[in-house]
Chains A and B, each alone.
Chain A
């Protein structure tokens, strides 16, 4: 089946630093990718929709200047958490939409811990 790879799977950083998470579709093109955040014992919450070659669309309450999204190619989207704080500690998950079929596939998730 289609594979979506996220990197890193785990990252620990100091408060105030920035962290970049990559999401790659390995065997299909993804014009659109989605970024979710999941806090412990909660469901996935959509943060933003990433569109190749254009600006991301953010959900209400998600700061676009804090969560920078870049989707520069048909197989790669990146999420940068800028000036991270402990409350940004969470499980970040991406989903890539196969441009040809429209089906959605999920990455393995990236656990961010901000000290």
Chain B
């Protein structure tokens, strides 16, 4: 799986949009960009994933650059409960049995009142 680079930490004001960047310059053509988050003392929670088109669901939006070398996760109206570590991971979707998720350092997002 391609390596990703994320800022170590970010702050965001409650109610504002949180924009979390991720660089994945070595991504392969068949690798998707996945985002998970981990709230303290819980297992990772799936947020969203995409291949090359922008994606949106009830939790967030994912913007992938045209060259696919970077992406941004957008939480449109951050709340205090969005405080967590956000992981950007690239991997082949579905795939074979050995296709685990490899976690980098992630971005620690602190949403402040």
* Chain A positions near chain B (C-beta within 8 angstroms): 1, 4, 6, 31-32, 34, 36, 43-46, 49, 51, 57, 91, 93, 95, 97, 101-109, 111
Contacts and interface: CB of A to CB of B under 8 A. Distances in A.
Given A43-B103, A43-B106, A44-B103, A108 B43 contact: yes
B100 A106 contact: no
Given A32-B98, A102-B94, 19 more contacts: A4-B43, A31-B97, A34-B101, A43-B87, A43-B106, A44-B38, A46-B100, A49-B98, A57-B98, A91-B41, A93-B43, A93-B44, A102-B99, A103-B93, A103-B94, A104-B100, A106-B43, A106-B44, A107-B43
Interface of B: 36, 38, 41-46, 87, 93-95, 97-106
Contacts of B100: 34, 46, 49, 95, 104
Contacts of A105: 46
A106 B99 CA distance: 14
A32 B43 contact: no
A25 to B, nearest CB: 13
Contacts of B45: 106
Given A49-B98, A95-B101, A102-B99, A44 B44 contact: yes
A4 to B, nearest CB: 8
A57 B99 CA distance: 13
A106 B102 CA distance: 13
Given A34-B100, A43-B103, A102 B44 contact: no
B43 A109 contact: yes
Nearest to A91: B41
Nearest to B87: A43
